[in-house]
Amino acid sequence: MTGGSGGIGAAVVRAAARRGWYVWIGYATGADRAAALAGELAAAGLSAATVALPLDEPERLRAGVAMIAERGPLPAGAVLCGAPAPDIAPVTKLEPEHFRRQLECAVVGHHVLLAELWRHCFKPRGGGHVLAVSSAAQGPETAAPHMASYVVAKGAFEALLRAMAAELGRAGLRVSVIRPGYVETPMLAAFDSRLLDRARAAAPSGRFLSPSDVAAALMAALRHPPGPGMVGEIGLDDRRAGAA
């Protein structure tokens, strides 16, 4: 689990642990939150451990996967929730660094992570299931405005997943993608509160998705994976453009 220390990631960790999975709680800067979550689950008699998986630090990613492989059990799947907050600005005012930061995590970091997981965990098991949290912000018909670096990064993230499925599907890689709209997580702090108020009022039932809504959809997909080499889409009731 990347981004396992908060928001959608923490909800997925709790849901997976309650269903009997041994969960590796990956974190970047949320080491204390991840440890507290692991302690909460242990107190409930559930199984989880923490591991540093910062998407912008390739060597720490490799070390984290090596620790998972060494300590076991080898994971059957990976849920990818980690991502930088979106850069909210008109496309003409974004700087190259905004795109570099987003792409470094979405493409470079995820490539390192998934390649290492494949070599050390999935391939020895005969395959694995990757469940990726993308965003409705990137389309497919119309991209969300004022989020160009985030939109581009999410599109590239999905392209990476399709490429990996095409190459590794015969060996057992399965991929599922979910594209939520606005979700009530700390990431919403990147947005103007007035925009959020308008979007929330226009959303079904007058509310955004909750992390548990997304976690429930991911758990259903985990139980019913697509075929090897396939990229399955995970449905949600609310697919409004916004930040996951």
Between 23-32, 75-84, 115-124, 231-240, the lowest mean confidence (pLDDT) is in: 231-240
- Which among 34, 154, 50, 32 has a CA at the least distance from the CA of 105? 154
Average pLDDT value for residue range 95-101: 97
* 88, pLDDT greater than 70: yes
Give me the residue label for tokens 């990431």. Answer: 187
Q: What is the pLDDT of residue 146?
A: 93
Q: Which residues have a Cβ under 8 Å from the Cβ of 104 and sit 6 or more positions away?
A: 55, 56
* Percent of the chain whose pLDDT exceeds 70: 96
Q: pTM score, two decimals?
A: 0.91
Lowest mean pLDDT among 26-40, 50-64, 184-198: 184-198
Residue 142, pLDDT score: 80
* Domains assigned to the chain: 7-234 (3.40.50.720)
Q: What is the per-residue pLDDT for 244?
A: 41
Q: What's the pLDDT at 240?
A: 38
| Residue-averaged pLDDT of the chain | 93
As given in the structure block, the two tokens for residue 170 are 């015969």
Q: What is the pLDDT of residue 237?
A: 56
> Residue 53: pLDDT band by 50, 70, 90 thresholds?
very high
- The b/e string for 171-194 (b: 16+ C-beta within 10 A; e otherwise) is ebbbbbbbbbbbbbbebbeebeee
Q: Quick one: pLDDT at residue 192?
A: 87
The answer for residues whose C-beta is within 8 angstroms of residue 218's C-beta and 6 or more apart is 12, 15, 79, 131, 133, 176, 178, 234
pLDDT of residue 243: 43
| Number of neighbouring beta carbons within 10 Å of residue 2 | 28
Instruction: Look at residue 242 in the predicted model and tell me its pLDDT.
Output: 40
Q: What is the pLDDT of residues 115-171, one digit of tens each?
A: 999 999 999 999 999 999 999 998 777 888 999 999 999 999 999 999 999 999 999
Number of H helices, E strands in the chain: 9, 6
Q: What average pLDDT does range 1-18 have in this prediction?
A: 94
- pLDDT > 90? residue 203: no
Average pLDDT over residues 183-209: 88
Helix (H, G, I), strand (E, B) or coil at 30: coil
Burial class (CB in 10 A: 0-12, 13-18, 19+), 142: exposed
Residue 238 confidence (pLDDT): 41
CA distance 133 to 120: 23
Query: d(Cα 92, Cα 98) in Å, to the nearest integer?
Result: 12
